[in-house]
Amino acid sequence: MPVAGIIDVAGPVLSVQERRLFAARDPWGFILFGRSCETPGQIRALCEDLRDAVGRHCLIFIDQEGGRVQRLAPPVWPRLPALSFYGQLWTQDRERAIEAIRCHHQIMGQMLGDVGVNANCAPCLDLRLPSASQAIGDRALSEDGECAGRLGQAAVAGLREAGVAAVVKHMPGQGRAVLDSHEALPHIQASRAELAIDLAPFRANLAAPMGMIGHVVLDALDADAPASQSAKVVQNWIRQELGYQGLLMTDDLTMKALDAPDAVKAERVFAAGIDIAMRCHGTLEERDAFLAQCPPLDGDSLARAQAAEAFAAPPSTPLEPTELWARFTALTGWERGISMSVSPDPTRKAWA
């Protein structure tokens, strides 16, 4: 039985040592970063090697949002808009915005499926609030919960139609954070009523197969622990108040928001009730130690993991990229070869 962990890959090619480690530890899934994404053929071979190492067609994750967060990036792959683009379009034409973001995620899902990736840490459903850290910023759809929820539904559907399972993030909402959790531990001092507003996009997406929990302290819910390590947040707020029953996974445990030893971090997230822990950076020895702390999947966590895997079933009719791009351009005016400058990717601060 696989263990309840998602682990990164050091480079574009699986090393002999990594292959041995993954075969021995059997992580539930893997996540790719820019350092592992050079060409389509290279990524396909890497995904095949990862699945061969664990002996099953596991989920392979990536962060592919559009805008400044794209692991499959230009010039090899086309740039897609940041999600805030669709929030702006929503204010002009709601139905067009819904169709456009669905097409965006069909295109993105087709790109991912083409190289063997079948799970995407997207869409970002945090509300976009002007006083908050720009770590979220234009990655968010809107400050309007209805807009973010409806567009999020279309994004999840578009990925599924391409055979890719979505991970909605960052539960239960960290759009109010004034610090970047890649660099420090944010405390959100909003009231329970305000935090309930932040749940709205996630409430509209209870059917999403997976949700990622961020490393932020929600003082009104649990002032003593980050959301990812708090049973009060995971069990009482997300499972009960929100009613989410899909798989819950952590954001990267190596982020600077968390400063405890790895073994303690893992112990805390599983004690809080999270299904899967994720580690995205480190030496071979650190990855081995992390996976050793991850328990075998069983019970409800196993059932949720299996449901997430089923969500990533290949489409019965493959999507045709040329047709998708023609429709996307008609909806948005966005051309396939468009060149644009983007601000720095906050998710790349610790690694490529």
Place of tokens 């682990």: 7
What span, in angstroms and rounded, lies between the C-alpha atoms of 119 and 30?
A: 10
DSSP code, position 228: G
182 has catalytic annotation: yes
Cβ count within 10 A of residue 185: 16
Catalytic residue among 63, 251, 262, 345: 251
- Taking each helix axis from N to C terminus, what angle separates 40-54 and 94-115, rounded to the nearest 10 degrees? 70
Structure tokens at 34: 């820019």
- Going by C-alpha positions, the residue among 210, 103, 104, 202 that lies closest to residue 152 is 202
Contact 84, 141 (CB under 8 A): yes
Residue 69 exposure: Cα atoms within 13 Å on the Cβ side: 24
User: What distance lies between CA 328 and its chain's CA centroid?
Assistant: 23
What span, in angstroms and rounded, lies between the C-alpha atoms of 350 and 276?
A: 21
251 has catalytic annotation: yes
Structure tokens at 217: 């302290």
Strands 64-66 and 69-70: antiparallel
Catalytic residue among 104, 105, 170, 182: 182
By annotation, the residues acting in catalysis are 182, 251
